[in-house]
A and B are shown apart, each in its own frame.
Chain A
Amino acid sequence: MAFQGVDFYGLDTLLNEDERAVRDTVRRFVDDEVLPIIGEHYLAGKFPKQIIPLMAELGLFGANLPEEYGCAGLNNVSYGLIMQELERGDSGVRSFASVQGALVMYPIYAFGSDEQKKHWLPKLATGEAIGCFGLTEPDYGSNPSGMITTARETKDGWVLNGAKMWITNGSTAHVAIIWAKTGDIKDVKSIRGFIVPTNSKGFSSKDQHGKLSLRASDTSELVLQDVQLPKDAVLPKSGGIKSPLMCLTQARYGISWGAIGAAMACYDEAVSYAKNRVMFGHPIGGFQLQQARLAEMLTEITKAQLLCLQLGRLKDQGTMTPEQVSLAKRNNVDIATNIARETRRLLGANGILAEYQAMRHLANLESVYTYEGTHDVHTLILGQAITGLNAFGG
Chain B
Amino acid sequence: MKIAVCVKRVPDTETRIKIGVDGKSIDEAGVKFILNPYDEFAVEEALRLKEKAGNGEVVVYALGSDASQETIRTTLAMGADRGVLLKTDTPSADPLPAARALAAELKSGAYDLILFGKFAIDDYHQAVGPMVAELLDLPCVTAIGHLEVNGGSAVAEREVEGGIEVVELSLPAVLSADKGLNEPRYPALKGIMAAKKKPLEVKAVTLDAGGVTLLELALPPARKEGRIVGEGPDAVTALIQALRSEAKAI
Contact = CB atoms under 8 A, between A and B. Distances in A.
Interface of A: 1-2, 4, 10, 17-18, 21-22, 25, 28-29, 57-60, 63, 67, 72-74, 78, 82
A272 to B, nearest CB: 12
A4 B32 contact: yes
- Interface of A, secondary structure class, is helix
Interface stretch (B42-50, B51-59, B186-194, B240-248): B186-194
Given A4-B14, A21-B74, A58 B186 contact: yes
A10 B192 CA distance: 23
B189 A60 contact: yes
B19 to A, nearest CB: 20
29 contacts: A1-B14, A4-B12, A17-B73, A18-B192, A18-B193, A18-B196, A21-B70, A21-B77, A21-B187, A21-B192, A25-B192, A28-B186, A29-B186, A57-B188, A58-B186, A58-B188, A58-B189, A59-B188, A59-B189, A59-B190, A60-B189, A67-B193, A72-B188, A72-B190, A72-B192, A73-B190, A73-B193, A74-B189, A74-B193
B24 to A, nearest CB: 26
Interface in B183-211: 186-190, 192-193, 196
Nearest to B196: A18
B193 A25 contact: no
Contact of A72 (B12, B30, B186, B189): B189
Given A25-B188, A59-B188, 12 more contacts: A1-B14, A4-B32, A18-B196, A21-B74, A21-B187, A22-B189, A25-B189, A58-B189, A72-B190, A73-B190, A74-B189, A82-B189
A22 B192 contact: yes
Contact of B14 (A2, A21, A67, A73): A2
B189 A63 contact: yes
B76 to A, nearest CB: 10
Contacts of A74: 189, 193
B73 A25 contact: no
Interface of B: 12, 14, 30, 32, 70, 73-74, 77, 186-190, 192-193, 196
Contact of B70 (A17, A25, A58, A67): A17
A5 to B, nearest CB: 8
A63 B188 CA distance: 11
A67 B186 contact: no
A29 to B, nearest CB: 6
Nearest to B186: A25
Contacts of B12: 4
Nearest to A4: B14
B205 to A, nearest CB: 23
Contacts of A57: 188
A199 to B, nearest CB: 30
A131 B132 CA distance: 53
Nearest to A33: B186
A67 B189 contact: no
Contacts of B70: 17, 21
A17 B193 CA distance: 11
Nearest to A57: B188
A81 B201 CA distance: 29
Nearest to B16: A4
A18 B14 CA distance: 22
Max chain A C-beta neighbours (<10 A), residue from B70, B192, B196: B192
A82 B12 CA distance: 21
Contacts of B190: 59, 67, 72-73
A18 B187 CA distance: 11
A226 B196 CA distance: 50
Nearest to A29: B186
Contacts of A4: 12, 14, 32
A222 B77 CA distance: 41
Contacts of B193: 18, 67, 72-74
Contacts of A28: 186
Nearest to A2: B14
Contacts of A25: 186-189, 192
Nearest to A1: B14
Contacts of A59: 188-190
Contacts of B32: 4
A191 to B, nearest CB: 33
Given A1-B14, A72-B193, A21 B186 contact: no
Contacts of B189: 22, 25, 58-60, 63, 72, 74, 78, 82
A132 B188 CA distance: 24
A21 B32 CA distance: 12
Nearest to A82: B189
Contacts of A67: 190, 193
A59 B190 CA distance: 7
Nearest to B78: A25
Contacts of B188: 25, 57-59, 72
Contacts of A21: 70, 73-74, 77, 187, 192
Contacts of B186: 25, 28-29, 58
A241 B113 CA distance: 61
A57 B193 CA distance: 14
A93 to B, nearest CB: 16
B188 to A, nearest CB: 5
